[in-house]
Every structure is written in structure tokens, then in C-alpha cells.
Amino acid sequence: MPGRRSSPPHWGHHLRRFPSAPACRLWGPQSYEAWEPPRPLPLLCRDMALQNALYTGDLARLRELFPPGSTADLLLECQAAEPRWTSHQRGLWSLTYEEELTTPLHVAASRGHTDVLQLLLRRRARPDSAPGGRTALHEACAVGHAACAHALLVAGADPNIPDQDGKRPLHLCRGAGTLECVELLLRFGAKVDGRSEEEEETPLHVAARLGQVELADLLLKWGACPNARDVEGRTPLLAACDARCTSPADAEATTTCCLQLCHLLLSAGADADAADQDKQRPLHLACRRGHAAVVELLLSCGVSANAMDYGGHTALHCALQGPPAALAQSPEHAVRALLNHGAVRVWPGALPKVLERWYMSPRTIEVLMNTYSVMQLPEEAMALVPPETLQKHHRFYSSLFALVRQPRSLQHLTRCALRTHLAACLPQALPRLPLPPRLIRYLQLDFEDVLY
């Protein structure tokens, strides 16, 4: 038909115009200057041969389907990753996989088919097209395909454009090519402190929250702000300290990663005592997650052990209310560090609750009890500990319940008196006392696995 643009071969009736493309684009600072004629609307393609070639990266077949002069400015329909509740009639809902729109460029970028992606760009595929809410650059960065990201950036892809969730490509970088993708984005003008639209997170927040130490280091070298705050007032340091262990098996790795991030952020000038909107500080979160080494690091920076959040909780409360997974991270070390830095002791009436929660960690019970001159437990407290635990830790629990309402040893009473006298300067004064190292450790509540 005269004047009608021909379609690439083999597509026929599988193509139709997509109605939402922009009508025109103006160029130059004023509207009367040169402007580009309306670009043809993108075609919706349902040709399975084309889609199969795209998903498998069949470059030879795609060269046939996209000969010189053809366009790759197409739309494809794909199934959503998760089923959604939809209603086609009033009151009738069904759980179905909705069809979503994507482009050949998105498919190539998400699968790392760099040669295919370059062919599509030569055939006039638009690098910033986002029919489903994400651009192809988002897709490439989300799976760490650095070569695809580079090709898109060279073709003019915007490194700062947000997706449907308000996240920029820098927020999404994952996978083996994460660092390379991030460096490419920054070299091509991505804002190192660009915010996500809803959470107002910077890329450094995301790196800290996900435990990506090398990525955080790279972002800081490019000038990322270590004290940026998200919509809840959280800094990257707070995000790092809130790292959770999914299981006891990964507890050590999570704590190590968290410690490395905290060292990195603090050396870059992060505020060790910055509070969020709920007045939670890094120390609160590190205690709640059981990161004992991070607790000791933060205390060494001079943060207060007795600062309260809006709920009236101190760091010691947070440590003793931690999840069961914290058992694998030796909570007794965090509790001891807090007590040696002047943390206010637990109210004696709450000790039975602590025993009931932490009976599987005798050293946590030991370090708490060694801050009192009298064992303030009711006689029926033995019933709070299961028989198998009493048997497993027989020596400790025998000594504990033998001392209920009984006087402690003179040596222990002397320790309590000295610690009380030095309360205001306990962490600084104890190491300086002219005493043998073993006695210093005793004053610092060293573990003995028995109570006297």
C-alpha cells in the first residue's frame, strides 16, 4: 500500500501499533527551533520465532529478522514473574499471571546477550524505552551484565532515570559484575547520592543494608555521603548495623561483614551515634542483631551505653531482647562490653525473665549476675531452666541456684565495690589500674563458667 511502512519479514498480522508513544519531541531551548517529526508508534510483536531468537541470543536469526533498514523499536508481551489478583467482572477475582510489556532490548540486556543488544541499538531500538516501568539499563545492572550496561550507556541511556519503584540503576546493581556496572554508571554521569523516590535511600544505603563491603568502598571513593539520611532518618551506618542473620549458620559471616562496613563508614566520617526518627542508634541495632564485635567498636568510639530510644530501651535492653539467632553470635560478649562501659544494670525484678529467655547462654546469665552483690532470684527460678539444660551446664547452674539469697564471696564483693566506685570512668580506669592482667580481667567480668 503506498505510503505504508513495510514490516520486517515473517511478522505479518502479529504486529500492531502501540498507542501510548509520544506524539513528538521538541529540540532546542525554544519551541520555534528545529523539531523532530513524530516518531512512528512502536509495534506490538507476538511473533514466537522472534521471541525465541531473542531469549536464546540467536544472533544469526535476528540478523535475518532485522535486516538493514528495519526497526527494533518493538514491544513484546511477557508473563509477570508472580501471579496477581485481577478482576474482569465486578466481584469476581482470580489469581493469574498478567501479561506485561517489554522490548527486545530489555530481553537482550537482562540475559547478557551483548551482540544482540548492539544489533538492536543499530536497528533504532530506544535505549530509554520503559514500557514495563524499567529501562534496559535497569535490567542489565540488576543482573550485573557490565558489557550490556556499557553498550547502553554509550548509546545514550540515562543513568539517573528511576524505574516504576523509584529506584535508579545504581540502586539495583547486583551479581558478579556489580562493581564494574557501578563504575560505568558513575563514569557516565550517575549521581553517587541519587535517591530512590519512595525510601529516599542512596546507593550507599543499599550497599550497607545488603552487606556489600566492596561496593560501599567504591561509592565512598566516588564521594558518597556517609551521613545521608533516608525517609526514616537512617544513615548507612544504621542500615549496616541492622543486618540480620537468616540462620545460625551465617551468623559469623554476617557479623564479620557488618564489622567491615562499620569500620569503613566510620573511617569515612560516619556519625557513630546518629539516631533515626525513633531515636534508635547504631548501638541499639547492633545489640538487637547480636553483633558483639560491632558493639565493642561503637563503644570504643565513645557512644553512650545508656542512650534510650523512643520506647525507653537502652542498648542493654536491646541485647537482652535479641532474637534466638543471636545465640550463635555469643551475646555474652555484647552484654559484657556494655556493662564494662557503664551500662545501667537490669532491674533485679526482671532477672527471672532474662533467665527464662537466655538459659541456653549461661555466660550471658553469668556476666549479668556478677554485677550484683546478692543473687536476686526467687527460689522457684530453677523451674525456668529445662532439665536437659540443667544437666548440660550442671556446674554453672548448680553454683547459680546455690547462691540464691546467699552471700557472695569476699573477692566478688570487692569487685562490686570497686566497679561501683569507678562507675563514671569504668572503661578508662580499669585497664590503667596497677594490677596483674588476670585480676584486671576479673574486674572486667571475665568468664569463669561458675559463680562464687
pLDDT digits (tens, 9 = 90+) for 278-315: 999 999 999 999 899 999 999 999 999 999 999 999 99
Q: State the Cα–Cα distance between residues 4 and 69, nearest whole angstrom.
A: 14
Q: Which CB contacts under 8 angstroms, 24+ apart, belong to 321-324? A: 321/288, 322/287, 322/288, 322/289, 322/290, 323/289, 323/290
Q: State the Cα–Cα distance between residues 56 and 53, nearest whole angstrom.
A: 5
Residue 155: partners with Cβ closer than 8 Å, 6 or more residues away:
121, 127
40-49, 143-152, 153-162, range with the lowest pLDDT: 40-49
Give the strand pairing for 43-45 and 74-79: parallel
- CA angle, 268 as apex, 267 and 270 as ends, to 5°? 90
- The residue among 117, 124, 202 whose CA lies nearest residue 168 is 202
15-24, 245-254, 285-294, 400-409, range with the lowest pLDDT: 15-24
pLDDT band at 17 (very low <50, low <70, confident <90, very high): very low
pLDDT of the residue at 28: 36
As assigned by CATH, the class of the 1-27+35-86+94-191 domain is mainly alpha
- Could you tell me the pTM of the whole model? 0.84
Residue 264: half-sphere exposure toward Cβ, Cα within 13 Å = 26
pLDDT of the residue at 198: 92
pLDDT of the residue at 59: 96
pLDDT digits (tens, 9 = 90+) for 23-70: 333 333 444 444 555 666 677 888 889 999 999 999 999 999 999 999
Task: Identify the residue with better confidence: 351 or 245.
Answer: 351
CA 290 vs. chain centroid, Å, equals: 16
pLDDT of the residue at 271: 97
Helices first, then strands: H and E counts in the chain: 23, 8
Q: Do domains 1-27+35-86+94-191 and 192-313 have the same CATH topology?
A: yes
As assigned by CATH, the class of the 192-313 domain is mainly alpha
Structural domain boundaries of the chain? 1-27+35-86+94-191, 192-313, 345-452
Residue 9: partners with Cβ closer than 8 Å, 6 or more residues away:
64, 65, 67
Q: State the Cα–Cα distance between residues 41 and 452, nearest whole angstrom.
A: 84
- The residue among 58, 74, 59 whose CA lies nearest residue 8 is 74
Whole-number mean pLDDT of the chain?
87
Q: State the Cα–Cα distance between residues 113 and 279, nearest whole angstrom.
A: 48
Q: Is the pLDDT of residue 262 over 80?
A: yes
Task: Identify the residue with better confidence: 425 or 41.
Answer: 425
Strand partners, 79: 99
Q: What percent of the chain has pLDDT over 70?
A: 84
pLDDT digits (tens, 9 = 90+) for 175-231: 999 999 999 999 999 999 999 999 999 999 999 999 999 999 999 999 999 999 999
Set of cell numbers at residue 75: 514491544
99-108, 253-262, 319-328, 361-370, range with the lowest pLDDT: 319-328
Q: What dihedral angle (degrees, nearest 10) is formed by the CA atoms of 48, 49, 51, 57?
A: 160
Q: Is the pLDDT of residue 14 over 60?
A: no
pLDDT of the residue at 37: 58
- The residue among 192, 137, 189 whose CA lies nearest residue 162 is 137
| Separation in Å, CA 4 to CA 1, 7, 40, 43 | 6, 9, 11, 14
Q: Is 198 left (phi over 0), alpha (psi -120 to 50) or beta?
A: alpha
pLDDT of the residue at 379: 82
pLDDT band at 247 (very low <50, low <70, confident <90, very high): low
Rg (CA), the chain: 31
Q: Is the pLDDT of residue 152 over 80?
A: yes
- The residue among 349, 346, 357 whose CA lies nearest residue 323 is 357
pLDDT band at 324 (very low <50, low <70, confident <90, very high): low
